[in-house]
Amino acid sequence: MGLTKQYLAYKPVSSFNIIASGRANISFVTINHVVGRYVVVAAAEKVLVWDMRIGEKVVEFVRDKQEVTFLRTSPDQKLLAVGYSDGLVELFSFDSKQSVCSFASHRSAVSALNFDLLGLKLVSGGLDNDLVVSDVVAQTGKCRLTGHTAPITQACFMQRFHDVVVSSSKDTQIKFWNTETQCCFKTIVDHRTEVWGIVLMRNDDFLVCATADTQLSVYKISETTETTPPTSTAEGQLPEEESTVSPFRCTAAGSIQRAGHGRTINLVSDANGQVFGCHGTDRKIELFYFCSQEESVKKLTKRLKKLNTNKSNTEQDAKESANARQLALTDEIKRLSTISTPEKVKSFDLLLGSRNELRICCTFLKNFVQLFSLDMEAKNAEPDTLYALQKQGHPSEARTVSFSSDNLAIASGSAESLKLWSRASQGVLRTVDTDGYVVSTCFVPGDRHVLVGLKSGQLLVVDVVPGEVIERIDAHEKELWSIILTPDKHGCVSGGGDTTVKFWSFELIDRSDGTEGKVLSLLHKNTLKLEETVLNVRISQNGKYIAVALLDTTVKIFFMDSLKFYLSLYGHKLPVVAMDISYDSTLIITGSADRTIKIWGMDFGDCHRSLLAHDNTVTAIQFIPNTHMFFSCAKDGKLKQWDADSFQKIVTLPGHLGEAHALAISPNGKYVVSCGSDRTLRLFRRTEEPLVLQDVQEEEREELENATLATGEESTVPGLPGLRLPSKKTIGSEKGAENILECLEVSKQYEEEGSKGPLPPLMYAYSATNTDEFLLTVLSRIRASDLEESLLLLPFSAVCELLERVPKLTIARKDHTELICKVVLFLFRVHQKPIVSNQVLLPVIQKIVPTLQAAVGELRDMVGTNLHGAQMLQRELEENDGCVLFRDATKQRIQRDRRRKRREASKRKLLQIIK
């Protein structure tokens, strides 16, 4: 075997430029007991927590390459539930900044998440039309609720009625579910269009629904009692049936007419259900306040006083008549000031403070976040803008990137501006408004200036230090697609959509304002006229040739000095979008919209190799300096490294979630930066880790194999065709089943040998001394959310072996009683029919039942003894010390600190006066 060529691996450093994704929602979060200052947003595959006051990123949560689709914080503000586009829900802890657990709940993107009142249960809705209720404490799914025929738009728990979930869907229905019986007991079918959102207001007294029209439907929820007269329900259900099934009545109370246009996109309420807001397709956020019962009666009393023509009625009579009559919707709901936003809102969240200050945080389509404040006590109060995060990223997608010659700065251009970034910190150094769509950029030697090509054909000279445009040159009549420096660094060449290539030289001219000093300018020297639109221009390093990519799918090469025709490279089926010439001027690579990359020789123009490189249009391609290796990116979002000598792909880097628009390699070859339609700039760094092609190819094959489930997508059990588990089959569950089968096989073989001799290597690896401990270790290492799916994959023979080991295992390890109970109950429930029909397991079951009952009884007694013992100790301590144990002393400490600071401040003032 010959020597294999080794390469150095490129690893991702960071992704930046994105402030908030438009697909996911925004939410307030409490950090260090500070409320209303921090917001959590999605940024492509990341989750970011921003400090709105100082405009900095505080916390960052990262998972695999999957886009975040929904966010929700727990009521105690300790956990963050994140839904992803692959249907997985991940729970992160704000304290440890790590993932706590994950639920493989849905088969497509998560579209709704909500915790219950105590934060112990989590309901998630997905685009697969299902609802999944998960237990946060046990870290497992509880039930899967199926019944909707379209994607779920919102789901939430009711507070007054336990174990009740309300869900809305695009199938125009609102359903009420009982999570204990796992059935839908009430359906509202009043709407004719999709229901885009629901909120429960004022402790579940009202249900507000948003549909595709400009009205919000309001339903009144009241408890069902024997004295309440039967009324027809909103969904046309008979009162006799409803009274036996549903614990409440849901009757239509009226509708609210929105001031905005188009369908309602978001419907959000605060945590206490007092204020809710909505927005449509326009630039308005409408806010509504649900009055308390006393406030509603007062409003009704005032309204009746105005309507009452009989002046003799006293205030008491008015109150009595107000209580006697039913409250109208106008008495219950008060419209607050409308917030006019600068752009179209993508999502928002509400937070009602203790001093009746309402805070509203919004994300916008143009990649920025704003925080508004509204005083609810003041009449006709106007909302104030407190903070805004806007300068940390481009408002639109970045279309071009380039590196400075010292490898320290990155320039990126978008539809409105040019931004300069620090490569080390990934922070914004300068923002320059270009008043035009940037399609190409290039640093001038010395890195003091940047040349910017616009879609209008203008060529801008930007001074980096003040961050301003010092000159605008009408270089081309159409798009300026490409700018490249000449090899001698004395000028540049530009190619545009007006079928011309223009040559420029750098000149220093006097300032136009008459001040001392000179500024950089460009002097037009020559023009090369062609027949087709110029898409790209490149110059060989030896300065002999200039290559021009044309719209007619060819690349024409001219002599640099005389501009005479030299070669024509033809072979692509679609236009060449990107190309580059190697450092030794021997190779030219071209990337086309036909998804191929061709490697040509510069001496004869022969095609060395044609590579089917990507699944979509190749958008950028560039050689690594002083090598024959190059990077390419395409509209399939992938970033790939190639070797032009061996014509092999080296590695595929984790690319963009959408299209990749451009890439740039630093002059020292250590860094690669790319931009894409997911609005991120992704930076990669070359490491000292060697990379062997055969190993990389093997790893990619293994990843592809691991991504496809060996046992199929569906969870099927003989005799149970309609099994609906609150989880889906994952790679982890398959590996868990394999580990259990392997453990049973090794244990059986070891016991047949008399349990003597050296331990099997696998048992030794798990640090187990006997077979029972070995089995328990294997079961406990399976993730809680994957345990049921793993047990489901076991054949019935393995289930019998597992159950036979349970009695001995229960007696030996009573500290794992909960896990053993969970495994046994699930296996009994799933394999009930074969277990009942198989008399062989009867003696095993007769042993399992009393053994487990005794273990559970001991565990319950121990917990009860500890609980009451702790309560007794607490009472004794309180009696002896005369104080309440575990009292929150933070308020007193804060007050003491304030008094101490005031005393110190007064002393300092006194000293200053004496001086």
- DSSP labels, 776-811: HHHHHHS-GGGHHHHHHTS-HHHHHHHHHHHHHHHH
Q: From residue 522, how far is each of 27, 491, 506, 707, 730 by CA, in Å?
A: 50, 8, 5, 54, 60
Compute and round to an integer the Cα radius of gyration of the chain: 34
Cβ-proximal residues to 37 (8 Å cutoff; 6+ apart), any chain = 31, 51, 52, 53
CB atoms within 10 A of CB 422: 13
Query: What pLDDT score was predicted for residue 908?
Result: 45
Phi, psi of 815 (to 5 degrees): -75, -15
Q: Which residues pair with 6 in a beta bridge?
A: 692
Distance CA 2, CA 17 (A): 45
pLDDT in tens, 653-663: 988 999 999 99
Phi (first) and psi of residue 583, to 5 degrees: -65, -30
Q: How far is CA 890 from the centre of its chain?
A: 35
Could you give the angle at which helices 293-307 and 315-324 cross, rounded to 10 degrees?
120
Nearest Cα to 651, choosing from 598, 689, 606, 679? 689
3 state SS of 23: coil
**DSSP code per residue over 575-616:** -EEEEEE-TTSSEEEEEETTSEEEEEETTT--EEEEEE--SS
CA quadruple 500, 504, 509, 511: dihedral positive or negative? positive
| Consecutive H or E run containing 765 | helix 761-765
Contact 394, 367 (CB under 8 A): yes
Report the Cα 336 to chain-centroid distance in Å. 31
Provide the b/e sequence for 216-252 (b: ≥16 CB within 10 Å).
bbbbbbeeeeeeeeeeebbbebeeeebbeebbbbbee
pLDDT value, residue 324:
43
Q: How many CB atoms lie within 10 A of CB 518?
A: 10
The C-alpha atoms of residue 616 and residue 621 are separated, in whole angstroms, by 14
Structure confidence by residue, pLDDT tens digits, 69-105? 999 999 999 999 999 999 999 999 999 999 999 999 8
- Look-up of token digits 């493989």: 104
Cα–Cα distance for residue pair 314/560, rounded to 1 Å: 100
Cα–Cα distance, 456 to 397 (Å, whole number): 18
- 50 within 8 A of 32, measured Cβ to Cβ: no
Give residue 189's identity as a one-letter amino acid code.
V
Range 98-102 contact pairs with CB under 8 angstroms and sequence separation of 24 or more: 99/61, 99/63, 100/139, 101/139, 101/783, 101/784, 101/785, 102/783, 102/785
CA distance 59 to 92: 11
φ, ψ of residue 55 in degrees (nearest 5): 70, 35
Structure pTM? 0.85
Please tell me the distance from the alpha carbon of residue 283 to that of residue 266, in angstroms, as a whole number: 13
pLDDT digits (tens, 9 = 90+) for 764-820: 888 888 888 889 999 999 988 888 888 988 888 899 889 888 888 888 888 888 899
Rounded to the nearest 5°, which phi and psi values hold at 543?
Answer: 75, 15
SS3 content of the chain, % helix, strand, coil (to 5): 25, 40, 35
| Segment holding 693, helix H or strand E | helix 693-707
What pLDDT was estimated at residue 891?
Answer: 67
The pLDDT score that the predictor gives to residue 29 is 95
CA distance 296 to 327: 7
3-class SS of residue 211: strand
**Which residue type, as a one-letter code, is found at position 124?**
S
d(CA 42, CA 45): 7
The one-letter amino acid code at 553 reads T
Residues of the chain with pLDDT under 50: 1-2, 226-243, 310-312, 322, 324, 908-915
